[in-house]
Amino acid sequence: MDRKEESYSIREQIFLMFMPFCTLISIISLLTNKNDIRSNVLFIIAIAYFTTLTYLSYKKVSIPIIHRLGIYVLIFLILPVLWLREVEYFPLNITYTILIFMLLNYLTVGKERITLNILGITLLESLLLIFHDKIQTTTPWIILFPLVFLFLALLLITIERAYEIEKLNTQEREDKLTKLTRIDHLTGLYNRNYMEQKLKSVHNIWKRGVQTYSLIMLDIDYFKDYNDYYGHIKGDNCLKIISSILQEQITRDTDYAFRYGGEEFLIILGFTDVYGAEFVANKIKAAIDVAKIEHNSSKISNYITISMGISTINETYNSFSDLLLMTDKALYQAKNSGRNRVIHYKEDSLVTT
């Protein structure tokens, strides 16, 4: 995957920059104390290695592969080599071992984390046993070091879990806030503000030469009379039923249903030509007819009916606003032609479907 198409997480950024930074600090410290340049060889190699990983990550090399490669090299190559070559620097080795275990527990999860901790502590125990005499430690240290690293691993896991839970809670709060700004609270459909954003997005996709799109605007016939006759609570329930029918009929990921205002609704049908739009409109109309929502104050039926206007994008429209205007014009004509019908706007003509 191309690096340009993705962004780094905090973990990956820490992973790529942490070890080069630490090894650079170590080199400066050793040179300041006038140590032999040979004692810096391992650290110079480490800087070169992680700098190479950083460079490769910006190329077409998969980040997860680099991520995992670095972790395993840390545990099974750099850690033992650190002890084998620089055992006389015992405090420095212990410091780096702690940092490596911290990095290990921060960058891995699940069974991999448990397995690497077991293998890493076993490796550390083996190194301590091998160099027990050289580092002049007492026997309790052979037991204490693994216990310290095990405690450190558990502590880091606990901290990370708390961080992940807080991150999840924050995301949930943001999702709820986003939903409140996009959803009409009565019907559960998208609201008009979000409709304008989505319509602009769909139109921009069409301008890039992608497949056409269509709009359907629908209005509940004689809804004011319905409210006056049955009351506003019944009126709200009617809107909810119509909205539920729309959600049942609009099932594709590229289609969106909105409450346009009052008893009017708008549907965006992505990748849909005029024939597809007419099919969807007639399907919605048939579903509402089947629902048989009582409307004794209607002048054309004893049940709720709808009028619908359709338009399909083409090169004659300068913007999505023009298409929306033509859709509204088709709906207006459907209502003036007796209601309970579907009218399709087509290049300055209105066609009943």
Q: What pLDDT is recorded for position 3?
A: 38
Least confident of 156-165, 168-177, 189-198: 156-165
| Residue 253 CB neighbour total at 10 angstroms | 6
pLDDT tens figures, 100-124: 776 676 667 777 777 877 887 787 7
Q: Quickly state the pLDDT bin for 4 (edges 50, 70, 90).
A: very low
How confident is the model over 298-307, as a mean pLDDT? 96
**18-27, 208-217, 273-282: which range is least confident on average?**
18-27
Q: Return the structure tokens found at 260.
A: 């346009």
Domain of 259? 192-352
Question: Given 147, 177, 207, which residue is the final one in a domain?
Answer: 177
- Judge if 49 and 143 occupy the same domain: yes
The mean per-residue pLDDT over the stretch 92-102 comes to 68
| Structural domain includes residue 68 | yes
Q: List C-alpha distances in Å: 239 to 46, 57, 263, 265.
A: 66, 53, 7, 10
Name which of 257, 281, 274, 263 is nearest 199 in CA terms. Answer: 257
End-to-end CA distance of the chain: 48
Nearest partner of 149 among 176, 175, 122, 174, judged by Cα: 122
- CA-wise closest residue to 120 among 70, 65, 71, 84: 71
Q: Are 215 and 269 in contact (CB under 8 A)?
A: yes
Cα–Cα distance measured from residue 227 to residue 98, given in angstroms and rounded to the nearest whole number: 72
| Predicted pLDDT of residue 121 | 77
Are 311 and 224 part of one and the same domain? Answer: yes
Establish if 326 belongs to a structural domain: yes
Give yes or no: residues 329 and 236 share one domain: yes
110 and 231 fall within a common domain: no
Write out pLDDT tens, residues 227-250.
Answer: 999 999 999 999 999 999 999 999
Domain boundary among 117, 143, 177: 177
- Winning range, highest mean pLDDT, from 193-207, 219-233, 332-346: 219-233
- Average of per-residue pLDDT across 280-305: 96
**Is 185 part of any domain?**
no
Q: Which candidate, 37, 44, 47, 104, places its Cα nearest to that of 74?
A: 104
- Out of 12, 174, 248, 263, the active site residue is 263
Least confident span in 130-144, 202-216, 329-343: 130-144
31: its two tokens: 């040179």
Q: Is 183 inside any structural domain?
A: no
pLDDT at residue 347 in the model = 58
Give 198's pLDDT tier (boundaries 50, 70, 90). Answer: very high
Domain count of the fold of the chain: 2
Answer yes or no: do 144 and 277 share one domain.
Answer: no
Domain check: are 267 and 305 in the same one? yes
Q: 31 with 160, same domain? A: yes
List the alpha helices (DSSP H) in the chain: 10-32, 41-57, 63-73, 79-85, 90-107, 110-130, 132-135, 139-182, 192-207, 223-230, 232-249, 274-291, 320-336
Higher pLDDT, 252 or 44: 252
Tell me, yes or no, whether 112 lies in a domain. yes
Indicate whether 130 belongs to any domain. Answer: yes
Domain endpoint, select from 128, 144, 177: 177
| Model confidence, pTM | 0.56
Average pLDDT of the residues of the chain: 79
Does 230 lie in the same domain as 107?
no
Active site residue 263: yes
- 47 and 94 part of one domain: yes
Let me know whether 137 and 73 are in one domain.
yes
pLDDT band at 330 (very low <50, low <70, confident <90, very high): very high
Residues 264 and 299 in one domain: yes
Residue 184 domain flag: no
What does 41-74 look like in DSSP terms, one character per residue? HHHHHHHHHHHHHHHHHTTTS-HHHHHHHHHHHI
In the chain, what percentage of residues exceed pLDDT 90?
Answer: 41
Contact 191, 258 (CB under 8 A): yes
pLDDT band (50, 70, 90) for residue 92: low
| pLDDT score, position 301 | 95
One domain for residues 216 and 266: yes
- The better pLDDT of the pair 17, 320 is held by 320
Q: Do the domain assignments include residue 288?
A: yes
